[in-house]
Structure 1
Amino acid sequence: MLHPEVHPDPTVAYRVAARSGPAQPTPDAVATLHPLGLDDVRLDPAGLLGQWQARNAAATLPHCVAQLREGGALDNLRRLRGDGDVGAFTGMWFSDSDVYKTLEAAAWELARPQPGTELRDFLESTVALLAQVQDADGYLNSYVMTERPDRRWQELHWSHELYCAGHLFQAAVATARVGLGDLLETVARRLADLLLDRFGPDGVEAVCGHPEVETALVELYRTTGHRPYLDLARRFVDLRGRGLLNAERFGPVYLQDHVPVRDAEEVAGHAVRQLYLLAGVVDVAVETGDASLLAAARRLWDSAYLTKTYVTGAHGSRHRDEAYGDPYELPPDRAYAETCAAVASFQWNWRMLLADGAHRYADEMERVLYNAVAGSTALDGTHFFYSNPLQLRTGHDGSDEDAPGQRMPWYACACCPPNLARLMASVQAYTATGDAEGLQLHLYAAGTLHATVHGRAVRITVRTGYPWSGRVEVTVRAESTEPWTLALRVPGWCQDYRIEADGADVTVGDGYLRLTRDWSSSTPVTLELAMPPRLVAAHPYVDAVRGCLALMRGPLVYCLEQADLPPGTRLEDVRLDPASPMGTTALPGGPPDAVALTVGGTVARPGPAGLYRAGATSPDGPSDQVTLSAVPYFLWGNRDPGPMRVWIPVDTATAPTGGRPHPGGPGSTGGPAPIG
């Protein structure tokens, strides 16, 4: 169905149907899988993903709107209208992008029934404002237009002009796809056409210092069918690495301008810029059939996820330049691990999953979603981490917002909260896909799914307590008797599973169980994923955590917090007993059915004073046995500020047969303290 609010365009060969999600390849794209429609998946608010989406709607998104008003981002745009009550420009010079990301989040949220009108009022009034203040030639950037009008397009290494334009395009795509009128799309296309005039085939050779416009231009093409937008995205990708940016201040690696994409061997530089660029690279590759670009994306995926990604799925090991480090340079206490990088990783892996269909991309989506993304937001939905360390030391000075000791309501550079809002408002669109053979479930969440297979309607109901429980109950009902295949992902962390699917032909391959049968009767399928607690060790080249282990269960990474230690205990004195049995217990104050872990350990009494000691080793003093309680990493920091660590030093004196107390035995802390 053609989008009813897009004007006819003689260059259009294809239009995406209304109500599609954030990333929608065209039918001609070289992609293995295709997304379902935005409305095809409804999350159950009783499930964890559904809870997060509901919290996003009730708390995070309204909070973002309020901060845009109070912090001046909307006033920066109102200045262009000449409103007399508006003062000087305030905030970051790219604050327009925060407005656009919040608009996108509002559009995805408004695709569902809303109890009030506040969100719609915000969207409609802001879109009207943008239409009013846009220059006659289509240019729109509040900072440049008011503070540096003579420098338009002249400082692309730092101005974020194209970056802001990209987020405007994505907001316009969202409003168009959910049927909220064509005004924002008109604004976006006027700016996009200006980009074509300046940077198109016969125009200036240039790229943006902060990639993002590439993936946005592709999505604008997918929505409008206007091929020049795709061609411009490809041109921007091809111009990368030719030294077109002024790199004197930041350096070419930081700006992703140090090597052509097709020649790059490892991810490097500013992590968010690298990941956004690669999302655009995949979009361009699948729409143009460019095999060399897709090969480069696969090669850089190996670099990122085999040598430079934290166990939580986070990216960026250096505070300097918010950047990737060397291979295996993953210090837990100095992890920058920006929230926007986690969101960008999720987006890149989604595009790789659509392109290749390989389970490793869905595995990474799950890992980063349940750990790095989820951990960035407090339980109240209105406080956030910008950086996400895996260790907070005793005595940490959390006054610097670059490395706070607890989540903050907003940041001077406020890119992360609205980025989270737009992801969570549309997260249901990333759970399942389809292909010529049938449907695939990638992220397990309680809810319902409606799709069309072989031209006939299918309804799937999912009941699960995932990720607290590994039991996934799927009921399938199809109108047609023609057999088709339902694929269920077996996560890479899962070492044992059981499947019940009466009457189905079951095959296993590339991390998926493929069940083929006639689904015309109401057919139950039960997948049991074994989810015991487990210990995880890092590659020996990760020097920063040598001699340490991490605790995991299912897709969740766990951590120790000061709040769960015996009084007077310093977290740095805690050691893990790897021979001790591990157990589970309820987590009071956490989400329903939340699970904490228990494991034996020791608390060493400090040895001789002094920063350094003579000898081949630095032994601890005498130690006391204790049962340790670990909470999911994504829930850390919801109690009083205090030390935390994911990687726990191993008690080297532990005998293979143990001898430590069982969970709940002598020395137990009595279970985790209440969260929240």
Structure 2
Amino acid sequence: MNDFVPHGPVLPTADAISALRPLPASGVRLSTEGLLGGWQERNATATLPHCVTQLDRHGNLANLRRVTGDRSDVAFRGFWFADTDVHKTLEAAFWEQGRSGTASPFTVDAAALLEKAQDPDGYLDSYYQVENRDKQWTELHFSHEMYTAGHLIQAAVAAARTAPGDAAAQQVLTVARRFADLLVTRYGDSPEVDGHPEIETALVELYRVTGHRPYLDLAGRFVDNRGHGVLGEGRFGPRYFQDHEPLRSAAEVTGHVVRQLYLLAGAVDVAVETGDRELLDAVVRLWDSAQNSRTYVTGGQGSRHRDEAFGDPYELPPDRAYAETCAAIGSFQLAWRLLLATGEARYADEMERVLLNGIAGSTSVDGTAFFYSNPLHLRTGHDGSHEDAPTQRLSWYSCACCPPNLARLMASLHGYVATGSAGDGLQLHLYGPGTVAGGGHEVTVDTRYPWDEQITVTVSSASDTPWTLAMRVPAWCDAPRLIVNGTQAPARGQIQDGYLRLHRSWKPGDTVVLTLTMPSRLVAAHPRVDASRGAVALARGPLVYCLEQADVPADHDVEDLALDPAAPLAVSYHSGGLSPVTLRVPMRVRSSNFVPLYSDISSFKTTAATVTAIPYFLWANRSPGAMRVWIPLATREE
């Protein structure tokens, strides 16, 4: 394929509703010296190999070998959708192959295994291919069969977009298309739907790869099938499945968060490819519902452990936050699709917030331990013995959906940084050092963001005709500053819809220095968020900060601290240690020793102290201990 151009996870067709166009996958190269590029390198050298090892150790690969007859001596292990962890890891390996140019032996072995395990009719789901074969397609509310197929298809999309001439990539694409064709044949005119959305966006992306219209039509059918009660009551009722009301008329997000977000992402894909603006508007309405009343300050979503679900409006308890890692990834992927469709900066703002806080906090600094749920408050004495809410990150989980999901996102992260085309120029959405090229233009980005305020963009090459360089100015930045070719220029007047837009004939060597001033901020929640009333969160730039017991003097406890609102915060810079930037926070320490459970307020005595706050995403990388994002405000009497 001489005309092949590699692309990332989302690639709307030329006829789709699309305000912005993704760059080719080779258009962005992130430097490993920056935060984002460093995460990608950590993913390649630690997280992805770790996932491959765990798949073998926990039986995911053996489950598929049982189907082929190569491991008939073992029982099925793990959850019934364990195959999806194989598929997500395979997808990650292909994205990494496209990024680094180095193929993993895992892709070869996994592709051959999947091809061998597939049934003649295209069916491939190891849980339902041996003992449970008679149950195939009979328990869609529970089975995750289409969800499993969706992740297989996503792996095939990654293979097709990164290495189409590779034999393993061709194998995976063939396997995935056979499964997709089976779905088209079986469900093309059916009212049924899978209990866990994901197949919708996978089918649209497969349509974009192949041009085969039945895949898109089936995805649209699945979107519209949901909301008519076809899945039954289940354990948590139809709202859990988003099957209580059609998406087009639903007023608010509800139910299992990952299912809701994956459904919305698939609906955006269907809407933009079919020109269905009513459906796109419905997704925006539901996105607003989530953002306005059901999203944590870190970008995390999901306040209920019981059903991994959205709670009521403003039900956002920090200590009981579920905020599943996969939900944060789903939110990022949904926001990216809405950004492409609309070009609105608010979606890029949310991508940044959830990436740098909700997603980043899930992974240890060495890349081999992970949080499934991401609380905003860990109490002193918390019992972290259960994996549902551990005190520290774990190397793997019985339901291990999050680690391979992180691996596939990080391997493709460069694909979400910028957009552009020959006619529209370049748009920079996420900031990190590296190069960005597309549409005949290329720039180099030099920055230590989010630790430093300054972003320097140097034009490397450009077309002769004028074009626009657009740089996002986050909503939290009140006073951006601009220098163009060494001359100070007004910034505010050139900001349109959240982007600094500079239109001119660019020449190699031209430079733009954008300073996103980031003083420390005290953030308050909406008054209806009862769990955070009378407390504030600390933020600097896009990062949310937290207090961790490791930074509190031994004779104090995180739980006894109250922030002194009258004293200023100070920023500290470090050349080493856990975080390059910390905050020095003035506190009042409430002595709680020997205090009854309830007593007169006058019995509390306080002393002054200054405590270090670190970025939330870095917590739990030292000794186990208490942590909190929301800090009570000291009263005047204190």
Q: TM-score, normalised by structure 1?
A: 0.91
Asked if 1:474 is matched to 2:457, the reply is: yes
Displacement after TM superposition at 1:654 (Å): 6.3
Q: Shift of residue 602 of structure 1?
A: 1.1
CA contact (8 A) 2:62 2:71 kept: no
1:75 to 58, 62, 74: 62
Query: Which of residues 335, 346, 357 in structure 2 aligns to 1:371?
Result: 357
Structure 1 alignment gaps of length 5 or more: 5-15, 656-676
In the alignment, does 2:46 pair up with 1:59? yes
Tell me the residue number matched to 2:221. 235
- Out of 521, 529, 547, the position equivalent to 2:516 is 529
Give 3-state SS (helix, strand or coil) of 1:104's partner.
helix
Provide the secondary structure at the position in 1 that maps to 2:233: coil
> What are the within-5 Å matches in structure 2 for residues 44-443 of structure 1?
44-84=31-71, 86-113=73-100, 120-179=104-163, 180=166, 181-201=169-189, 204-435=190-421, 436-443=423-430
Q: Which residue number corresponds to residue 480 of structure 2? A: 497
Q: Provide, for residues 477-497 of structure 1, a one-character-per-residue CA deviation record: whole Å limited to 9, x for no partner.
A: 334220011111000111111
Question: Of the candidates 610, 613, 631, which is equivalent to residue 648 of structure 1?
Answer: 631
Q: 1:151 to 1:490 in 2, by over 3 A?
A: same
Q: Provide the residue aligned with 2:471 in structure 1.
A: 488
Count of paired positions: 629
For 1:126 and 1:437, locate their aligned partners in 2 and report how far apart those are by CA, in whole Å: 40
Alpha-carbon distance between aligned partners in 2 of 1:565 and 1:53, rounded to the nearest angstrom: 32
Query: Residues of 2 paired with 1:380 and 1:439: CA distance?
Result: 34
Q: Is the 8 A contact 1:556 1:633 kept in 2?
A: yes
Q: Partners of 2:129 and 2:594 in 1: how far apart?
A: 63
1:619 Cα deviation after fit: 4.6
More helix by share: 2
> 1:295–1:619: structure 2 CA closer, same or farther, 3 Å change rule?
farther
Q: Deviations along 1:22-77, whole A, 9 cap, x unmatched?
A: 00000000111110011110000000101100000000000000000010000000
Taking structure 1 as reference, are residues 619 and 105 closer, same or farther at Cα in structure 2, changes over 3 Å only? farther
Deviations 1:415-468 (A, max 9, x none): 00000000000000000012532110000110011211xxxx211100000000
CA apart distance, 1:607:
7.2
* Distance 1:484-1:114 versus aligned 2 partners, 3 A rule: closer
- Structure 1 distance, partners of 2:132, 2:237, is 23
Whether contact under 8 Å (2:563, 2:633) holds in the other structure is yes
Is contact 1:366–1:555 with CA below 8 Å preserved after alignment?
Answer: yes
* Cα distance, 1:194–1:619 mapped onto 2, change above 3 Å: farther
Counterpart contact for 2:425–2:441, Cα < 8 Å: no
Counterpart in the other structure of 2:434: 447
Distance 1:17 1:263, change over 3 A: farther
Contact 2:65–2:71 (Cα < 8 Å) also in 1: no
Matched residue SS, 1:112? helix
Of 617, 628, 631, which residue of structure 2 is paired with 1:634?
617
Quote the residue 1:668 is aligned against: none
Q: Deviations over 1:302-334 (max 9, x none)?
A: 100011100000000111100000111100000
Question: CA contact under 8 A between 1:176 and 1:182: conserved in structure 2?
Answer: yes
> In structure 2, do the counterparts of structure 1 residues 590 and 48 end up closer, same or farther at CA, with 3 Å as the change threshold?
farther
- Within 1, Cα distance between the matches of 2:385 and 2:478? 43
Distance 2:548 2:533 in 1: 20
TM-score (norm 2): 0.96
Residues 247, 255 of structure 1: 8 Å contact kept: no
Q: Distance in 2 between matches of 1:607 and 1:479?
A: 67
CA distance in 1, matches of 2:280, 2:298: 26
- Is the CA contact 1:350–1:362 (under 8 Å) kept in the aligned structure 2? yes
CA distance in 2, matches of 1:251, 1:84: 38
Contact map agreement 1:478 1:520 (CA 8 A) in 2: yes
Q: 1:620 to 1:258 in 2, by over 3 A?
A: farther
For 2:187, the aligned partner's letter is: F
SS state of the match for residue 34, structure 1?
Answer: coil
SS at match of 2:140: coil
| AA aligned opposite 1:129 | L
TM-fit CA distance, 1:567: 1.0
Residues 607 and 619 of structure 1 are in contact (CA less than 8 Å); yes or no, is this contact kept in structure 2? no
Percent identical pairs in the alignment equals 60
Q: Which one-letter code corresponds to 1:122 in the other structure?
A: F
Moved over 4 A (4+): 502-506, 587-591
In structure 1, the partner of 2:27 is 40
- Preserved CA contact (<8 Å) 1:108 1:174: yes
Matched, 1:566 2:553: yes
Cα 1:589/1:93, change in 2 over 3 Å? farther
Q: Is the 8 A contact 2:253 2:290 kept in 1?
A: yes
Provide the secondary structure at the position in 2 that maps to 1:424: helix
Cα deviations across residues 240-294 of structure 1 (Å, max 9, x unaligned)? 1011113232311111111100011001000010001100010111000001111
CA RMSD of aligned residues (A): 1.7
Query: How many Å separate the matches in 2 of 1:479 and 1:513?
Result: 19
Q: Alpha-carbon deviation of 1:556?
A: 0.3
| Counterpart secondary structure, 1:500 | strand
Structure 2 residue matching 1:42: 3-state secondary structure: strand
Structure 2 match to 1:666: none
Q: Does 1:604 align with 2:590?
A: yes
- Give the secondary-structure state (helix, strand or coil) at the position aligned to 1:259: coil
- In terms of mean alpha carbon deviation, does 146-155 or 260-269 score higher? 146-155
**TM superposition shift of 1:391:** 0.1
> Which structure 2 segments of 5+ residues have no match?
none
In the alignment, the residues of structure 2 paired with residue 329 and residue 82 of structure 1 have an alpha-carbon distance, to the nearest angstrom, of 50
Give the letter aligned to residue 497 of structure 2: D
Aligned with residue 578 of structure 1, among 565, 588, 599: 565
